[in-house]
Structure 1
Amino acid sequence: MILATSALAVSVTAVSAQTTPPIAGQSAPSFVAAASDANTYAIKASEMALSKAQRDDVKAYAKRVLDENRTLQKSLLASLRDNQRTIRTPSSALSSDRASLLSLLQKAPRGSFDNLFLTQATQVQDRAWSVYKGYAEDGTDPALKQIAIGAVQQEEQELTAGKALLPAALAGDQ
């Protein structure tokens, strides 16, 4: 319980901050790795939320995030198959930061799960938005740039929906 509560406090601080600025100057491989990591976290956390969330609106949100991120991840990985350039398929393992978030979510008591899931989801979506927006603005690979452009709006919608589900005390002035 203490672990989940402290994780919630850390996550709340991140969510109440302003949107992270776009990340400029990403190489194509760096973009792919960061985008894939965010998508993989969203997929795994949303799958968990479908079984652990108590609120129906949180489950509906998790289902939407799951479906959208599965589609986005498939598009991202499909774009790597190109004879013009070589970008390695990113690892399916989460980064240590995202793995830690997922571990905290797995350990969260049922009564704390919904708010922790929403808090983490909005934190990760904010960072994912900065990755996608940065590459959409100055990415050099046309196929990846197209994916980034499409993902920006998706991340904005998911972020807005997730924040709307958070209790006002957790959402802050966003």
Structure 2
Amino acid sequence: MNKYLCAAALFLGTAGIAAQAGAQTATMDVSPIPSQSGPNFVNAASDVDVYQMKAAQLAVYKAQRDDVKAYAKGVFDAADTRHKALLASLHNDQRTIKTPTTMPSADRAAMLKLLSKSPRGSFDNLYLQQSVKIAKAGWSVSKGYALDGTDDSLKQVATTAAPSFEQEVTQATSLLPAALVGAQ
């Protein structure tokens, strides 16, 4: 494993997005995605990270609540770190995987468009709901590859990413009004 992967694994394992003190790990109501090819994992994981970085940038600017802005900054940092680790794992002695696009998929682009057009008064809750949904998708992709992926370098990236997504779900859920927690 190269030095960038080691640094990313250390960062994600120790820093990530800190869940509130004493908070339980999120209960994930999604299943890991099994039997992904390396390139499929890379593209799916990249799509989640690209969405999260773009949405977090919007949230830092548009959110009304300071705790939501702080959460968004943490999400951006975690997604950026995960993405850099993913990109660092694309080339090794056994294979090379094509660098994924920096454009979000059509589904993620539509979510970003909805988020950008959201009125300021409802932005925070929509951002948090989308964040929970995307973090669960990221967990599902990462946990699935961590469990049965065949590429050791990508498996390490997936293994360190899954807990980061769990922390994001836990924190975003804690910031949502109780009436909206089940709506994401």
Please give the range of the TM-score, normalised by the shorter of the 2 chains.
0.7 to 0.9
**Cα pair 2:129 2:183 within 8 Å, conserved:** no
Normalising by structure 1, what TM-score?
Answer: 0.88
CA shift at 1:168, angstroms? 0.4
Match of residue 27 from structure 1: 37
- 2:48 equivalent to 1:38: yes
Give the 3-state SS of the residue equivalent to 1:155 in structure 2: helix
Corresponding residue for residue 78 of structure 1: 88
Superposed CA RMSD in Å reads 1.3
Gaps in structure 1 of 5+ consecutive residues? 1-17
Distance 2:152 2:106 in 1: 30
Q: How many residues align?
A: 157
Q: What pairs with 1:15-164 in structure 2 (closer than 5 Å)?
A: 19-164=29-174
- Which one-letter code corresponds to 1:38 in the other structure? V
State how far apart, in whole Å, the 2-side matches of 1:33 and 1:172 are.
Answer: 28
Partner amino acid, structure 2, of 1:135: Y
CA pair 173-37 structure 1, distance change in 2 beyond 3 A: closer
Instruction: For 2:76 and 2:183, locate their aligned partners in 1 and report how far apart those are by CA, in whole Å.
Output: 26
Deviation at 1:83, TM superposition (A): 3.0
| 1:66, distance to aligned residue in structure 2 (A) | 0.4
- Do 2:41 and 2:141's aligned partners in 1 also have CA atoms closer than 8 Å? yes
Q: Which amino acid aligns with 2:146?
A: A
Secondary structure of the residue aligned to 1:172 is helix
Runs of 4+ in 1 over 6 A off after TM superposition: none
State the 1:84 CA deviation.
1.4
Give the alignment's TM-score, normalised by structure 2: 0.83
TM-superposed CA distance for 1:172, in Å, is: 2.2
Q: Percent identity?
A: 56
Structure 1 letter corresponding to 2:36 = Q
- The one-letter code of the counterpart of 1:92 is T
